Amino acid sequence: MTKGEETRQFIVERSAPIFNTKGIAATAMSDIMAATKLSKGSLYVHFENKEDLAAVVVDYNMQLLAEKVLDTVNSHTNAKDRLFAYFDFFLDSQHSPVVGGCPMMNFGTEADDTNELIRAKVNDVINSSQGIIRDIIEQGIRDGVFKADWNYKEFATVAFAMLEGGILIIRVAGHNAKMKIINKTLKEMVMQQLT
Amino acid sequence: MTKGEETRQFIVERSAPIFNTKGIAATAMSDIMAATKLSKGSLYVHFENKEDLAAVVVDYNMQLLAEKVLDTVNSHTNAKDRLFAYFDFFLDSQHSPVVGGCPMMNFGTEADDTNELIRAKVNDVINSSQGIIRDIIEQGIRDGVFKADWNYKEFATVAFAMLEGGILIIRVAGHNAKMKIINKTLKEMVMQQLT
Amino acid sequence: MTKGEETRQFIVERSAPIFNTKGIAATAMSDIMAATKLSKGSLYVHFENKEDLAAVVVDYNMQLLAEKVLDTVNSHTNAKDRLFAYFDFFLDSQHSPVVGGCPMMNFGTEADDTNELIRAKVNDVINSSQGIIRDIIEQGIRDGVFKADWNYKEFATVAFAMLEGGILIIRVAGHNAKMKIINKTLKEMVMQQLT
Amino acid sequence: MTKGEETRQFIVERSAPIFNTKGIAATAMSDIMAATKLSKGSLYVHFENKEDLAAVVVDYNMQLLAEKVLDTVNSHTNAKDRLFAYFDFFLDSQHSPVVGGCPMMNFGTEADDTNELIRAKVNDVINSSQGIIRDIIEQGIRDGVFKADWNYKEFATVAFAMLEGGILIIRVAGHNAKMKIINKTLKEMVMQQLT
DNA sequence: TATGAATGAGCCTTCATTCAT
DNA sequence: TATGAATGAAGGCTCATTCAT
């Protein structure tokens, strides 16, 4: 990594929690200056403009979340355990995975009507998130852990929606009581598909 | 209603879709000027500042959505029909109920970390939304439509989360394919509780 | 006094300390609204504009001060006592006579380069203030209290200047230590002219 | 001096007469823009806000006056001559030393009740101004020019007050007739203390 | 006489961006 | 690559004033 690439990456990492917390519109380049302690001019050496930086940061935030989820999931081998690990990951998402909440929801709601580029990025990640759930279940069916006739594609969508809805609730509530219910419900739905 | 109250209400109505679509931070008072064709000074006759206006508009948007949902629900008497009407209401929410998407999600995600007043407002409405679902089911149990041992309080939370997650998906996707799955799943869950 | 004249006078009285404390430029019509609890329109019924009101208030403040000084002076008959009462009046002027300090100095410094009308008003009162001192001394000479060859016209100017300079010092200092020195000095100068 | 420091100083110099003439409240940043021909944004590169600029300008104006007075005083060596030079300096102050009049009086009267920071600054300079007079006299006493028992500390205060009062009079009057009287009186008071 | 809604110019300040060094 | 001075449009807001009621 050249010096330039390093600085660029540094800017992205420092900007990520700010954009995710305040939103793109409410984040000023001066916020990035303060967080990186870089000069105004320096920022523009690495990014054409705020929109450019925001796009990279959106990717970074979503990727960071995906990596953390996968890390957790991959610490298990049994498909059921992997699925449960996925659900449990969001149990305390009020505080942990990425500062500022779920980037899909944050940037998705901000961009849906106003920023086609970011809207498309978020859509891709929403789809691949459901894909991850599907992949786990497919493996489970191949391993004989889950029933072969499970309509798991629909479940993947339902599970993803429930988790996102849960994230909204717990972030606005400030506690995760309702996410526990969602977690329990999802696990029960999975248990019914065990062979 | 005095002239002033009329103007104030007019400003709120014209501002509502703008705030809901662009977000609070990205909405400028000049946007409101353009939408209302009122002068800058006139806006400040009726609202102390942008934050004050935003707070009223957030309430208005959430209330508007709630009223539309209730109107739909109340066109039915049978608890099952009422519940199904609730779910169906969001089937095409990509376009209809309130311009710009679900205000609970839009303002909730924008405000969760940055605006305590609005966060609390959204939290109240999220809770009462689940309360509406609970009320319908309670009536259904009293009427003997639903099983008495249904853990309906948890279902209300699950249903709410699924619908919100679904709204995120369809707004980012630009189509409601996934909401159909959610709708179907919710209805199946209800059917299992019929007496 | 008609109702209108009463209201007009009421506005002036309530505005006086505000203008004298904050200055004309820094006083907003909304400050007057708050102080009088009158509506915006009502203010403009009684005064053409802010400048008009300010001019009347400047007069009022200076007249109020003059009256208070004269009241104090007139509680004595002997010329020396009258002069000393005049000097003593300003000993604690840090707090008392008119809220906000000496209006001649306040409005004089604000208006000297920018408001010809007010500048002229202040100039008149500055002159008549020295006239008051001259009048007292003339009476004292007639009464045989003061030496007939006293160059009292110059003394009147010197005394006035010293008092105004003293007011500046004590208002900026927040205490009247230096005014005591000025007071003592003035009295000594008078004592030398006693017959 | 870096480019930035140069510009900052340039802004201060151009702003100084404007603030001193119109007052802080009545001076708009657009006035500074016009006087410096700098852009609005550029002003805020060098000063956090108007208050910050005003504080620096107040210092600059008072320092400028002090320097000019000291230059005049220092062109003499004999204590009596130095004192007379000090008094003469203000004889034509209606036009000369600093555009807009005495900054101690201008900013002192504007700030006394409303701006603690500036009030304190002015107070410091008022005190050191009297200190200058005291220093001259102390030297004169050491040199045997003035009587050793002169209560010169009180005189310093009296002289300062008389000059400030005189400045008020001549600025409001538009001519310096009264300052001539004050000048003459001060010189006579000094003459009485010659050995 | 009194009200308060309406106005638009102007206020201070922040913004994203550019560019010479 | 990095700096920070410079820009000017745009931001939220306040101002003095007008006018229909």
Dump pLDDT digits (tens) for A100-125: 999 999 999 999 999 999 999 999 99
pLDDT, chain C, mean: 95
Q: How far is the CA of C28 from the C1' of E2 (A)?
A: 20
Query: CA C19 to CA C61: how far, in whole Å?
Result: 9
Span A55-191 CATH architecture? Orthogonal Bundle (1.10)
Q: Which CATH class is domain C58-191?
A: mainly alpha
Question: Is pLDDT at C159 greater than 80 in this prediction?
Answer: yes
Domain D54-191 indexed as CATH 1.10.357.10: yes
Positions on chain F within 7 A of a protein C-beta: 1-20
Give the residue ranges of DSSP H helices in chain A: 3-22, 29-36, 40-46, 50-74, 79-89, 103-111, 116-142, 152-173, 177-191
pLDDT of residue A4: 82
Instruction: Tell me whether chains C and A touch (3+ CB pairs under 8 A).
Output: no
Interval C23-43 mean pLDDT: 97
pLDDT of residue B92: 76
pLDDT of residue B89: 95
Question: Is pLDDT at C93 greater than 70 in this prediction?
Answer: no
Q: Does C148 reach chain D within 8 Å, measured CB to CB?
A: no
Query: CA B126 to CA A170: how far, in whole Å?
Result: 10
Do the chains contact at A109 and B105, CB–CB below 8 Å? Answer: yes
Interval A72-87 mean pLDDT: 97
Write the DSSP string, D63-77.
HHHHHHHHHHHHT--
Interval A73-99 mean pLDDT: 88
The 10s digit of each residue's pLDDT in A142-190 is: 999 999 999 999 999 999 999 999 999 999 999 999 999 999 999 999 9
Confidence of residue C4 (pLDDT cuts 50, 70, 90): confident
Question: Is pLDDT at C186 greater than 70 in this prediction?
Answer: yes
> Which residues in chain A touch residue B111, judged by CB atoms under 8 angstroms apart?
172
pLDDT, chain D, mean: 96
The 10s digit of each residue's pLDDT in C95-120 is: 566 899 999 999 999 999 999 999 99
Question: Is pLDDT at B94 greater than 60 in this prediction?
Answer: no
Question: Is pLDDT at D93 greater than 90 in this prediction?
Answer: no
Interval A10-20 mean pLDDT: 97
The 10s digit of each residue's pLDDT in B109-157 is: 999 999 999 999 999 999 999 999 999 999 999 999 999 999 999 999 9
Scanning every strand, the nucleotide with its C1' closest to B29's CA turns out to be F12
Scanning every strand, the nucleotide with its C1' closest to C52's CA turns out to be F16
pLDDT, chain A, mean: 95
pLDDT > 70 in chain C, percent = 97
pLDDT of residue D98: 85
Distance from CA of D194 to the nearest CA of C (A): 19
User: CA C112: distance to chain centroid?
Assistant: 16
Q: Does B162 reach chain A within 8 Å, measured CB to CB?
A: yes
What element of type H or E holds C140? helix C116-142
Residue B146 in tokens: 């639903």
Q: Which residue of D has its CA nearest to C118?
A: D172
The 10s digit of each residue's pLDDT in D38-73 is: 999 999 999 999 999 999 999 999 999 999 999 999
pLDDT of residue A59: 98
Question: Is pLDDT at A92 greater than 80 in this prediction?
Answer: no
Question: Is pLDDT at B95 greater than 80 in this prediction?
Answer: no
Q: Of D61, D123, B44, which is closest to residue C178 (Cα–Cα)?
A: D123
pLDDT of residue B98: 84
Do the chains contact at A157 and B169, CB–CB below 8 Å? Answer: yes
Q: Tell me the whole-structure pTM to 2 decimals.
A: 0.93
Q: Does D76 reach chain C within 8 Å, measured CB to CB?
A: no
Which C positions 101-130 lie with beta carbon below 8 A of chain D? 101, 104-106, 108-114, 119, 122-123, 126
Distance from CA of C110 to the nearest CA of D (A): 7
